[in-house]
Amino acid sequence: MVALFASRRAKDPRMQDQTLPTVFESAMRGLACKCPRCGRGKLYAGFLDLRTNCEVCGLDYAFIDSGDGPAIFIIMIAGAIVVACALIVEVKYQPPFWLHAVLWLPLILATTLLPLRAMKSLLIALQYHHKAAPGRLIDREPK
């Protein structure tokens, strides 16, 4: 387990004096919406718009492709929370439909929009940490 979090020396010449982050450090950098390499530069230019590169270490963010992953995770987690709460309230109190709308619309917005930025940057940081890349087909000889 200790070997899993052991730091490794960076191979990038611009980052010679720094060690590569551990999984925990990468996750913390992601949750803080910071650069996955140095942990100091900002990752976003807007709410979900990425910068072109890190202003501190110069890491080019062109490799980043989080796709729909963050949205799917958030939808599943938020859906479970909202549906469980709505079912409990419906069974216990049986409120009118307008009250359901008043209760659950703000909760839906809060549980989907607030964690989306942090989830996207977390997946970006883990993508950088594990050096994730698109899959490639390997040419094989027929049997």
DSSP state of 49: P
Length of the chain: 143
In a domain, 104, yes or no: yes
- 60: pLDDT strictly greater than 90: yes
Tell me, what's the pLDDT at 4?
Answer: 32
Give mean pLDDT, residues 71-97. Answer: 97
Q: Is residue 137 situated within a structural domain?
A: no
Of the candidates 116, 100, 129, which has an alpha carbon nearest to the alpha carbon of residue 47?
116
Higher pLDDT, 93 or 9: 93
Number of domains in the chain: 1
Kindly state the average pLDDT of the residues 53-61: 95
**What is the per-residue pLDDT for 20?**
81
Residue 44 domain-assigned (yes or no): yes
**Alpha-carbon distance values, 45 to 19, 52, 96, 128 (Å):** 27, 9, 43, 19
Q: Is residue 83 in some structural domain?
A: yes
Q: Is 142 within the bounds of a domain?
A: no
Residue 8 has pLDDT above 50, yes or no: no
Average pLDDT over residues 29-41: 95
* pTM exceeding 0.95: no
pLDDT at 9 over 50: no
Which pLDDT score is estimated for 92?
98
In this structure, is residue 82 part of a structural domain?
yes
CA-CA distance, 104 to 94, in Å (whole number)?
14
Instruction: Give domain status of residue 45, yes or no.
Output: yes
Would 62 be classed as within a structural domain? yes
So what's the pLDDT on residue 6? 37
Range 59-64 average pLDDT:
92
Q: Considering Cα of 65, then 61, then 125, then 108, what sign does the dihedral take?
A: negative
User: Containing domain of residue 52, as a range?
Assistant: 2-129
Query: Which of 140, 133, 123, 117 has the alpha carbon at shortest distance from 48?
Result: 117
